[in-house]
């Protein structure tokens, strides 16, 4: 599924993917580490997270909220562009994005 906004994906998961039981269980969690292979995997498998052509705003919001530089590739020489794209791709990945989304969901459910 393609949802191109951090808030929209958090809202959608809370409203449509999580049962009331799951929400109650999340309230009692001390941290979100244990959710990586459950909710995190669900997010990674069911939502487009890292394709800049499909979710440019989601990636841009993630970068801004995490103080990751936004690179303007038009200003980079063609011969260096591949290197910058490789390095840039390492700063935004599905594991990092899903963990970030999980934490936002957790905080919203806990009303923190």
pLDDT tens string, the chain, 112 residues long: the values are 899 999 999 999 999 999 999 999 999 999 999 999 999 999 999 999 988 789 988 988 988 888 877 667 688 788 877 776 766 666 678 999 999 999 999 999 999 6
Domain extents for the chain? 6-110
What 13-17 contacts at long range (C-beta under 8 Å, 24+ apart), as own/partner pairs, is: 13/39, 13/43, 13/101, 13/105, 14/105, 14/108, 14/109, 17/42, 17/46
pTM reported for the whole predicted model: 0.81
* pLDDT value, residue 75: 81
How far apart are alpha carbons 35 and 29 in whole angstroms? Answer: 10
Residues comprising the chain, all counted: 112
Structure tokens at 18: 């999580």
* pLDDT value, residue 90: 62
């Amino acid at each position: 599924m393609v949802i191109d906004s951090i808030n929209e994906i958090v809202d959608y998961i809370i409203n449509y993917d999580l049962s009331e039981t799951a929400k109650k269980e999340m309230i009692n969690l001390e941290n979100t580490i244990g959710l990586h292979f459950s909710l995190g995997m669900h997010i990674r498998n069911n939502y487009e997270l890292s394709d800049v052509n499909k979710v440019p705003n989601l990636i841009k919001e993630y970068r801004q909220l995490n103080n990751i530089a936004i690179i303007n590739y038009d200003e980079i020489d063609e011969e260096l562009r591949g290197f910058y794209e490789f390095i840039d791709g390492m700063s935004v990945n599905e594991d990092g994005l899903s963990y970030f989304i999980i934490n936002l969901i957790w905080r919203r459910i806990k009303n923190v």
